[in-house]
């Protein structure tokens, strides 16, 4: 059984249908990429999964839990973390306080301390800057902080929305290396990414969205060689 199952998902913004009967699944341990042009509905999918946008129809099941009936703040406790587009860090708080807020659903102080050490090991720069006000970090460092904060909840699955947006090529490579590490350590990843080439290079499977519909899906490496994908998304 899939870890996360989306069936016939329909979402409207007013009279405009943003998602038109979307169905896909994510298995434990996979990296799944959602790619497509701006406005295709990728972010809407993540927002609906994590309870930020209501669905008009369909179902979302995570490890047997009906997410459409679960309040957004409880979804974190089920083992799901969301790294939103634009990072959404707490700019006026320190790096350390941002990270601690990521663990607010957890109670065991020792486990939280262990997770913090794990995050610092993965992001040495955050440890160096732990007392710094988060808003003064560079874009790439803020993205690392957003990812570190999500990992503090010790998620089974992490949803990432445009992690490479606005970053220098150097940071883009670094962020994708970290996503690979996160996956290798056993966390499932659902990735929305404008940089289709990068996303397909690290994903197991991918779904291509156009105007609220899935138009292609399959093995990420195969999609990378698909002529229509190359032409539309890989700039070839």
Q: What is the pTM of this model?
A: 0.90
Q: Can you give the pLDDT at residue 236? A: 57
- Ranges of beta strands (E only) in 63-222 are 65-66, 80-83, 157-161, 188-192, 205-210, 213-219
Residue found by looking up tokens 């609220």 in the block: 212
* Domain residue ranges in the chain: 1-79+156-236, 88-154
175: closest CA among 199, 156, 207?
199
Q: Can you give the pLDDT at residue 65? A: 95
Please give the helix or strand (H or E) that residue 230 lies within, else none: helix 227-233
Q: Can you give the pLDDT at residue 216? A: 92
Distance separating alpha carbons of residues 139 and 10, to the nearest angstrom? 33
Domain 1-79+156-236: CATH class, spelled out? alpha beta
Upper half-sphere CA count for residue 106 (Cβ side, 13 Å): 23
pLDDT tens track for 143-197: 889 999 999 988 999 999 998 888 888 888 888 998 998 899 899 999 999 889 9
Q: Can you give the pLDDT at residue 18? A: 95
- Region class of 60: left (phi > 0), else alpha (psi between -120 and 50), else beta: beta
How far is the CA of 70 from the CAs of 3, 93, 189, in angstroms? Answer: 16, 29, 21
Residues of the chain with pLDDT under 50: none
């Amino acid at each position: 059984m899939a870890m996360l199952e989306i069936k016939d998902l329909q979402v409207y913004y007013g009279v405009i249908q943003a998602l038109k009967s979307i169905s896909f699944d994510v298995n434990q341990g996979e990296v799944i990429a959602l790619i497509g042009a701006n406005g295709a509905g990728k972010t809407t999918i993540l927002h609906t999964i994590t309870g930020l946008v209501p669905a008009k129809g369909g179902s979302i099941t995570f490890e047997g839990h009906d997410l459409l009936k679960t309040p957004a703040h409880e979804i974190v406790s089920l083992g799901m973390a969301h790294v939103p587009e634009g990072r959404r860090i707490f700019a006026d708080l320190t790096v350390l306080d941002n990270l601690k807020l990521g663990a607010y659903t957890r109670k065991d102080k020792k486990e939280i301390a262990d997770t913090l050490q794990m995050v610092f090991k993965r992001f040495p720069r955050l440890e160096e800057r732990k007392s710094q006000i988060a808003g003064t970090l560079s874009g790439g460092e803020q993205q690392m902080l957003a990812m570190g904060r999500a990992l503090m909840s010790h998620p089974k699955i992490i949803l990432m929305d445009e992690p490479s947006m606005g970053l220098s090529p150097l940071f883009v490579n670094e962020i994708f290396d970290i996503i690979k590490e996160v996956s290798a350590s056993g966390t499932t990843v659902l990735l929305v990414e404008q940089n289709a080439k990068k996303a397909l290079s690290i994903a197991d499977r991918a779904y291509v969205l156009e105007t609220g519909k899935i138009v292609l899906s399959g093995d990420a490496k195969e999609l990378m060689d698909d002529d229509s994908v190359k032409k539309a998304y890989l700039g070839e």
